Chain A
Amino acid sequence: ITELQQLSLQITPPCSSEQHYEYSGRCCTKCEPGKYMSAKCTRTSETICQPCGPNEYTDIWNEEEKCSLHKICDQGRALIEVNPGNSTNQRQCACIAGYHWNEDCDCCRRNKKCPPGSGVKHPIQQNKDAVCMPCPRGTFSNVSSATDACKTWTNCTALGTEEKIPGNRLADVVCKKQLKQPQDETNTL
């Protein structure tokens, strides 16, 4: 008998699963994502699930009486839609370029500006604040900007000139005045 009991315990479906609930002494199936529960199960009938209406969703197996409303990506909060969502996935919003989401104010904050000598790390991530980094050797930034990366020093030799003042983090290289162009010489001749 104990063996039989053990066997029946093993056969009984576990009701602790995410997809089941216990009701009227039975273990019933919850509603799948994209649907809500319009009627619980009874002794004789299964759960009745109905699909979510337009602009609604459920994203987990649920016992909800109705679906959740999609949020609004409100322009007036500087939000744009990143993913429209559907009946099983919530809509996603993000702050427009130049701003990032801040939980504390529940709003889109202006991205910080990186001071001269540092630049914005690229690529800039949507909805994330600017990340500043000191300009590595060979680059400079002479502006305070929320978008600009460090710029590469001018290559004087490529311009046919020589370096007069070396560059640093804050300033570009200064090249010697350019030599007379060959065409200028022809002009003087």
Chain B
Amino acid sequence: ASWLDLPKKNKPDKAPLAHLIIDGNKIPAGTKKVNLTSWHHDKGWANIRNMTFSDGKLEVNHDGFYYLYTNVCFRHHEALGNLTGQILQLMVYVIKTDAKRRNPVVLMKGGSTKNWSGDSEFHFYSVNVGGFFKLKSGEIISIQVSYPSLLDRSPEGTYFGAFKIRDID
């Protein structure tokens, strides 16, 4: 390595970013709130740079202010059975866990209660949330959803991501 490399040592040469898309083949079943752990980080539209992703956890490697976002779609078709009489609260939560891997906090939430009984053959709803957050190296971002069995499996429907906008002064 030459002296030219030195100024780059402390900062990544490219701003950290991540766009994770749902792995539609590995969506948990059920109606209880769950952590979504199966996402693609390098296939299709997914990308990651200067961040670490494993087991559903997006880890920050560089301190900074980040824009975080997620989009989650829920769907139901009558071919899978009737939802009559069920109270649906379709929610997404963006969770931050501190560097010591405890003390999870909710950074953002979104969703709606739905009545998906009725005669229509198909029901659909999407949630989008986004916000600007100060994140430290070692902190972890993850996604929780209610009612995973209603989750849309397409990568253009269910995804989350982050990109660094500026340093912490």
- Give the interface of A toward B (CB within 8 A): 53, 55-56, 66, 68-69, 71-72, 74-78, 96, 99, 105, 107-110
Q: A66-B43, A69-B43, A76-B80 are in contact. Are A110 and B121 (CB under 8 A)?
A: yes
Most B Cβ at <10 Å: residue of A53, A66, A109:
A66
For residue B90, CB closer than 8 A to chain A, the reply is no
What's the nearest-Cβ distance from chain A to residue B112, in Å? 19
For residue B96, CB closer than 8 A to chain A, the reply is no
B40 partner residues in chain A, CB cutoff 8 A: 69
User: How extensive is the interface on chain B, given as a class?
Assistant: 20 to 34
What's the nearest-Cβ distance from chain B to residue A78, in Å? 4
- List 25 A-B pairs, Cβ < 8 Å: A53-B43, A56-B43, A66-B43, A68-B44, A69-B44, A69-B155, A71-B154, A72-B154, A74-B75, A74-B154, A75-B80, A76-B75, A76-B152, A76-B153, A77-B122, A78-B79, A99-B121, A107-B75, A107-B122, A108-B121, A108-B122, A109-B121, A109-B122, A110-B78, A110-B121
Alpha-carbon gap, A77 to B80, bound state (A): 8
- Contact call A72/B25, Cβ cutoff below 8 A: yes
B78 partner residues in chain A, CB cutoff 8 A: 78, 110
For residue B24, CB closer than 8 A to chain A, the reply is yes
Closest to A110 in B: B121
A66 partner residues in chain B, CB cutoff 8 A: 42-44
Alpha-carbon gap, A69 to B22, bound state (A): 12
Alpha-carbon gap, A74 to B149, bound state (A): 12
A71 partner residues in chain B, CB cutoff 8 A: 154
- Contact call A107/B124, Cβ cutoff below 8 A: yes
Known: A56-B43, A77-B75, A78-B122. 9 other contacts (CB 8 A): A69-B43, A69-B44, A74-B153, A74-B154, A75-B79, A76-B75, A105-B122, A107-B75, A108-B79
Alpha-carbon gap, A105 to B122, bound state (A): 9
Most A Cβ at <10 Å: residue of B42, B77, B149:
B77
- Contact call A99/B24, Cβ cutoff below 8 A: no
B25 partner residues in chain A, CB cutoff 8 A: 72
For residue B76, CB closer than 8 A to chain A, the reply is yes
Residue from B43, B44, B76, B121 in contact with A76 in the complex, judged by beta carbons closer than 8 Å: B76
B94 partner residues in chain A, CB cutoff 8 A: none
Per-residue interface assignment for chain B, residues 32 to 75, with 1 indicating a CB less than 8 Å from any chain A CB and 0 otherwise: 00000000101110000000000000000000000000000001
B44 partner residues in chain A, CB cutoff 8 A: 66, 68-69
Closest to B22 in A: A72
B121 partner residues in chain A, CB cutoff 8 A: 78, 99, 107-110
Closest to B24 in A: A72
B80 partner residues in chain A, CB cutoff 8 A: 75-76, 78
For residue B162, CB closer than 8 A to chain A, the reply is no
- Contact call B77/A76, Cβ cutoff below 8 A: yes
